[in-house]
Amino acid sequence: MRSLDEAVDWFSSLDEGGQDSVLREIVLYLIQVHVNAQDGRDGLTSSGVKATMTPAVLIVREPILEQVGKIASLPPNEHLKAFRVLLSTFAVADTRRRETECRGTCSHAWHNLS
């Protein structure tokens, strides 16, 4: 497992198209993991993004799936903050799902991302 800072370094090395693809892939994983609004709030806390930044404002609103789509569609100058918020939210949602539904008995690919 990588730290958020390592993930940010990797993401920053991608070109604009690569970053866009990664953001959209994270949204797909968020859909699969059944992200909820509380996951968004908790993810924001660990993302390091100020609460007044656009991705932060969006992630705490509902409906959450609509908001994560908006975050992934933000302009390139917002990509790094969007990545931090979406990835942190995914980490929270994935942990919740592992503890409440999967409990080591599933083979969901998103539990083993690296």
What tens digit of pLDDT does each residue of 8-37 get? 999 999 999 999 999 999 999 999 999 999
- Domain span at residue 68? 1-9+38-102
Residue 114, classed as helix, strand or coil, is coil
What CA–CA distance (Å, rounded) separates 51 from 67? 15
Q: Please indicate whether residue 82 or residue 103 has the higher confidence score (pLDDT).
A: 82
Does any domain span residue 52?
Answer: yes
Does residue 25 sit within a domain? no
Judge whether 81 lies within some domain.
yes
62 assigned to some structural domain: yes
Q: For residues 61 and 83, give the distance between their C-alpha atoms in angstroms, rounded to a whole number.
A: 17
Q: Is residue 69 assigned to a domain?
A: yes
pLDDT tens track for 24-83: 999 999 999 999 999 999 999 999 999 999 999 999 999 999 999 999 999 999 999 999
92: how many CB neighbours lie within 10 A of its CB? Answer: 22
Instruction: Specify if 75 maps to a domain.
Output: yes
d(C-alpha 44, C-alpha 35), whole Å: 13
The pLDDT value recorded for residue 1 is: 60
Is 15 a domain residue?
A: no
Look at residue 114 in the predicted model and tell me its pLDDT.
Answer: 46
Read off the tokens for 80.
């790094």
Band of pLDDT at residue 99, cut at 50, 70 and 90: confident
pTM of the model: 0.89
pLDDT value of position 100: 84
Residue 81: closest CA among 61, 52, 110, 41: 52
C-alpha to C-alpha distance for 26 and 18, rounded to whole angstroms: 12
Say how many domains are in the chain. 1
Domain assignment present for 111? no
